[in-house]
A = this chain, B = another copy of it.
Amino acid sequence: MADLATDLGRIKLKNPVMTASGTFGYGAEYHKFYDIAELGAVVVKGIAPFPSHGNPTPRVAETACGMLNAIGLQGPGIDRFLHDEHYLPFLRTTGATVIVNIWGRTIGDYAEVARRLEADKEGIAALEINISCPNVKAGGIAFGTDKNLAAEVVSAVREATTLPLITKLSPNVSRIGEFAAAVEAAGSDMISLINTLTGMAIDIEKMRFKLANRTGGLSGPAVKPVAVRMVYEAAQAVKVPVIGMGGIATGADAVEFLLAGARAVAVGTATFGDPYAPLKVIRGINDYLDRHGIGAVSEIIGKVK
């Protein structure tokens, strides 16, 4: 059994495997299958200062080795998240390491939700700032594809909370290293990537878009090569820890990201195909290390250069 503990600066994880925001609900859904405290961290679906319906349906479409989603950040809003028994109060009972993904339509929204979480931060290990959701018109992707706006969001959240901050980057840019450096400079303690690539699918028989929102975010094994490349480039560009995701379904996939420089990884779309995927990824990393006679996961991080 190798040492899987991971050091993300201000937070330490028992193992490097987290869940990707939006693919693991608020934890309760999968706690029925297994003890979610076994995971490195549970990242919940994006929380805004307000409740939100999300987009009209259809919201998902399967694609070759991937899927498009345009859920549009349906969510309970910060009030219910803090006080309704299904959300944070439940998560506190599990003992899981909880990371809260946050979003807003304006920079003020981001700051507000961060302030509210700061005021009630028991059981919260970190915040993940989603500046990269392609499915919300106001905000979202605009922040994620403009370096200055991205940095402004991070600065505003930085002022609103003392919690460790992860900034989640959009892959829909030419030079990811520059975005990583910009949010590091603005005070982000970590960087996570990739969010989804903007895509589209058309139903040729019905002659209409498959998603009501027209475009959606591409995720799953199809995007893994893009994700590994961006994680590698980001890790070269910054000193803060990088969390890698995009198409991870197996321990081998996760090892690829770790070798490329990620200090932790997240499992997203794969959980839809197999609820146990995050646990299997933990086991797979351990098996790989054992097979290679490597004592600790930290030894392989960034090993391929």
Contact = CB atoms under 8 A, between A and B. Distances in A.
Interface of A: 63-66, 68, 145, 172-175, 197-202, 204, 207-209, 215-216, 218, 220-226, 228-229, 232, 247, 252, 255-256, 259-260, 288, 303-304
A225 B221 contact: no
Contact of A200 (B64, B65, B225): B225
Contacts of A256: 201-202, 204
- Copies, count: 2
B207 A225 contact: no
A207 B303 contact: yes
Given A200-B228, A201-B228, A226-B199, A175 B145 contact: yes
Contacts of A209: 304
A65 B222 contact: yes
Contact of A259 (B145, B197, B207, B221): B207
Given A145-B175, A259-B207, A63 B224 contact: yes
Nearest to A175: B145
B225 A199 contact: yes
Most buried by B among A63, A200, A228: A200
B228 A202 contact: yes
B255 A204 contact: yes
Contacts of A66: 64-65, 222, 225
13 contacts: A63-B221, A64-B65, A65-B65, A198-B229, A199-B225, A200-B232, A201-B256, A202-B228, A204-B259, A207-B304, A208-B304, A221-B222, A222-B223
